[in-house]
Amino acid sequence: MSIETRHAIHWREAETFDTEALRENFLVPGLLVPGALNVTYTHYDRLMLAGAVPLGEPLAFTEAHAQLVGSEHHLARRELGLVNIGGPGRITADGTTFDLGFQDALYLGSGTADVTFASVDPANPAKFYINTAPAHARHPARHITKEAAKAVPLGSQETANKRTIFQYLHPDVLPTCQLVMGLTRLESGSVWNTMPAHTHDRRMEAYLYFELPENAFTVHLMGRPEATRHLVVRNEEAIVSPPWSIHCGAGTTSYAFIWSMAGDNQAFTDMDMIAMQDLR
């Protein structure tokens, strides 16, 4: 188990960073490690990123995760969303069991005390990508299958960005306090995500890229539109995107990624679009 904290960075400071400093502050590798529950707690809207890959024994939030947020247990005043990108998994929350297949999601409301993460078959372990965020209201737990998510097709082959957005934790699917979460899958031959680019100053965002072959990567663009930077991101690595930053990229092949947001509102379309000619 590892617990890391990431502090918020102003764009003035970020624009002085070299490659290593950019990676140290905005790239989150090593979340999905077999047999571990690893956590990165950010000061961007207090969003927490975590990965759990249970093997023979279930994994669980511990006293250390409670202390991280200053509560009697981790979800005392937080809500949780997760997506399974591995083999069949099982979540037990306060005695209720949820069986999750590949690309199924789960929402747990604030006040949930005991949560364990297990794989149905340790030889084909589940891979739970998890986010938690502060919550000031409690909403009921819900298992969201891929079929129950709201599917939104976007893009075209001509612009190399034909993709489907699956909205899991979204006001059109279920109520949450602030956490919004979904998954985007690019079709074969498409490599660009979130282009034209945008920012949303009222929310932060995080990405987890996955289904990238070992010799492939994405070039993730970040920074202010007039002063962009880039990060090379490999399979199952995450990105923390501040509200002042664009967040888009292109891969050496097609891929998928999980996106999540926290902040002032849940309006998916509340964004400030950037004209293509304004990117530098």
74 appears as a binding residue in the annotation: no
Q: Which amino acid is at 37?
A: L
Strands, sheet with 89-93, edge to edge from the N-terminal-most edge strand: 59-60, 115-119, 89-93, 96-100
Q: Which amino acid is at 105?
A: A
Which residue in this structure is represented by tokens 């612009």? Answer: 159
205 appears as a binding residue in the annotation: yes
Q: Which amino acid is at 35?
A: G
Q: How far apart are CA 149 and CA 169, in angstroms?
A: 8
The answer to whether the CB of 192 falls within 8 A of the CB of 257 is: no
198 appears as a binding residue in the annotation: yes
230 appears as a binding residue in the annotation: no
- Which stretches of 33-157 are DSSP H helices? 63-68
Q: How far apart are CA 65 and CA 52, in angstroms?
A: 13
Annotated binding site for Zn(2+): 198, 200, 205, 247
Annotated binding site: 198, 200, 205, 247
